[in-house]
């Protein structure tokens, strides 16, 4: 079972991510980012031209390893070109060349492509409305993340064999593992070393946008990476497999605990709420699918609690490790974690609530078509950093919390409707897995969608390559439309009774 996530591709993925970070450090300190980006662009284009699927896998490696895609960046004629943009341009160019050569095609009948129709229309509406109201520059700067959905074309053009799907899962595991390792290392550095090391590390992490490091009192630090989202997805897949299969808990106990520790270490209440919602989805689907016994539930609950306890112990071990210098105590750590978990009146929470009313007013002004990308709202923030610039806290921003309301503000009613419809269609197809021996995969991915959509309620992820990338990640695991049609035409009514059953048959034979 562990080969589903920890095979040869997992090791290759970790090596590839390590090389990316080494190249990023070289570009950052030596000042040759432009040259390195050019070399990566050439390499990604060549790989994609020969094997398009490998180009897409490379794009996923980059996405899983870094939230913002700026491990490398350079300015070109006033435009900031990042590593993520470079890889996107290279892979899409190779796909277009293959399209011209007739090696790939775009099938408008592919349900995996068509289910994004409303979202695509909402994106166009948001861009057009933003252009009319805010100018093209502001609209494009705010909405360019949706270009990431362009990967839909090569992703749906690839024949995703079982081997390729396995590689994709292992790359997810590699990216999640890397995020766990980086988080633990950063926590150790900031709780044990002097100001010179901390200053150098902080500037590096900030400039490459790898992680957010924030002191939370008592010498304890919050280490947050938006790519922790993929740690959560990976954890959901592990839990789903653990419930569905007779997978030895001893084999996954360490990775479960480290995953939980990473989510706790990020101290993101949005993630915590979103993950709680995804666990509810996971348990409901497992109960519906396999109806485990009470003893099985109790055993699994015990395993989960044990993993949580070990995760907290791991954080304590990192913070309290005596070499070289320890600056915190156990009570400091406990106070910092409990304060973050229970405090509801801090600046971030109060500012988020004060943002809500202006967003609703903006929605009321253009409820159907929205106000477009580049639209800003003005509210009163309690953030101390804002108060340094504005005495009364008045702040105008384009980047908003309350993700679902932001979709409505900028894309009109089509925005939330499109993404909700997309989730419904994807979940309907993924439910086909529950009739196969890969039920753990369908349940895990559905729970991951729940994690994304619940988290997006408080912090926007569906307007970011992380959220959009996860939806793209699910595409290869959706049943193939053409294969379904073949099965549905089978004359034997006992073999295929429903469309869902047909989809399940397709999965089993793919």
Higher pLDDT, 496 or 141: 141
Question: Is pTM beyond 0.85 here?
Answer: yes
* DSSP result, 323-363: SS-----HHHHHHHHHHHHH--SSHHHHHHHHHHHHHHHHH
The rounded distance, in Å, linking the Cα atoms of 12 and 61 is 10
Which residue do the tokens 């973050």 mark?
Answer: 340
In the predicted structure, residue 493 carries a pLDDT above the cut 60? no
Q: Is 452 helix (H, G, I), strand (E, B) or coil?
A: helix
CB 155 within 8 A of CB 91: no
Residues of the chain with pLDDT > 70, as a percent, come to: 88
pLDDT computed for residue 173 by the predictor: 96
Looking at residue 177, its pLDDT comes to 96
pLDDT at 500 over 80: no
Task: Provide the pLDDT for residue 510.
Answer: 42
Contacts of 317-321 spanning 24+ positions with Cβ under 8 A: 318/184, 318/187, 318/188, 318/191, 319/187, 319/191, 319/220, 321/188, 321/192
pLDDT in tens, 339-377: 666 665 566 778 888 889 999 999 999 999 999 999 999
CA gap 115, 417 in Å, rounded? 12
- Condensed to tens digits (0 to 9), the pLDDT of residues 234-265 reads 999 998 887 766 566 777 788 899 999 999 98
Q: What percent of the chain has pLDDT over 90?
A: 61
Report the run of H or E that residue 484 belongs to, with start and end. Answer: helix 481-488
Q: Which of 168-182, 311-325, 326-340, 360-374 has the lowest mean pLDDT?
A: 326-340
Give me the chain's average pLDDT, please: 87
Structure tokens at 402: 């309350």
Specify whether the CB–CB gap between 240 and 451 falls below 8 A: no
Q: What are the distances in angstroms from CA 353 to CA 273, 332, 356, 359, 360?
A: 16, 29, 5, 10, 11
Question: Which pLDDT score, from 0 to 100, does residue 482 have?
Answer: 47
- The pLDDT of residue 52 is 96
- Is pLDDT at 485 greater than 60 in this prediction? no
**pLDDT value at 487 more than 60:** no
pLDDT tens per residue across span 374-420: 999 998 887 777 777 777 778 888 988 899 999 999 999 999 999 99
């Amino acid at each position: 079972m562990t080969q589903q996530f920890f095979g040869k591709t997992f090791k290759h993925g970790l090596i590839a991510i390590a090389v990316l970070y080494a190249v990023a450090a070289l570009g950052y300190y030596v000042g040759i980012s432009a040259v390195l980006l050019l070399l990566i662009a050439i390499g990604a284009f060549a790989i994609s031209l020969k094997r398009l699927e490998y180009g897409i896998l490379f794009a996923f490696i980059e996405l899983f390893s870094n939230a913002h895609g700026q491990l490398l960046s350079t300015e070109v004629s006033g435009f900031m070109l990042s590593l993520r943009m470079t890889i996107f341009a290279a892979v899409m160019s190779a796909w277009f060349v293959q399209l011209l050569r007739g090696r790939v095609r775009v099938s408008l009948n592919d349900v995996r492509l068509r289910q994004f129709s409303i979202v695509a229309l909402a994106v166009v509406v948001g861009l057009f409305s933003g252009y009319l109201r805010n100018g093209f520059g502001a609209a494009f700067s705010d909405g360019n993340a949706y270009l990431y959905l362009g990967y839909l074309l090569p992703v749906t053009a690839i024949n995703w064999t079982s081997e390729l799907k396995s590689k994709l899962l292992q790359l997810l595991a590699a990216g999640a593992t890397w995020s766990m390792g980086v988080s633990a290392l950063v926590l150790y550095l900031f709780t044990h070393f002097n100001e010179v090391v901390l200053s150098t590390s902080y500037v590096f992490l900030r400039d490459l946008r790898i992680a957010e490091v924030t002191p939370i009192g008592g010498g304890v630090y919050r280490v947050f990476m938006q790519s922790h989202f993929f740690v959560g997805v990976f954890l959901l897949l592990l839990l789903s497999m653990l419930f569905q299969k007779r997978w030895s808990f001893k084999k996954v106990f360490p990775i479960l605990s480290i995953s939980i520790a990473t989510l706790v270490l990020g101290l993101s209440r949005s993630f915590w709420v979103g993950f709680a919602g995804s666990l509810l989805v996971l348990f409901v689907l497992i109960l519906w699918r396999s109806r485990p016994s009470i003893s099985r539930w109790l055993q699994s609950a015990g395993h989960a609690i044990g993993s949580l306890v070990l995760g907290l112990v791991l954080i304590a071990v990192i913070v309290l490790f005596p070499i070289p210098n320890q600056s915190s105590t156990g009570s400091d750590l406990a106070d910092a974690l409990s304060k973050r978990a229970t405090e509801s009146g801090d600046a971030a929470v109060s500012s988020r609530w004060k943002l809500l009313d202006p967003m609703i007013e903006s929605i009321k002004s253009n409820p159907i078509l929205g106000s477009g990308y580049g639209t800003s709202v003005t509210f009163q923030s309690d953030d101390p950093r804002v108060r340094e610039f504005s005495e009364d806290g008045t702040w105008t921003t384009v980047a908003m919390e309350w993700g679902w309301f932001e979709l409505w503000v900028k894309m009109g009613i089509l925005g939330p409707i499109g993404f909700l419809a997309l989730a419904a269609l994807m979940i309907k197809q993924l439910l086909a897995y529950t009739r196969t021996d890969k039920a753990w995969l369908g349940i895990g991915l559905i729970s991951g969608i729940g994690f994304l959509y619940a988290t997006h309620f408080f912090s926007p992820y569906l307007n970011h390559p992380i959220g959009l990338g996860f939806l793209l990640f699910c595409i290869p695991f959706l049943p193939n439309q053409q294969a379904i049609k073949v099965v549905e035409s089978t004359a034997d009514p006992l073999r295929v009774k429903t469309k869902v059953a047909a989809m399940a048959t397709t999965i089993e034979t793919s």
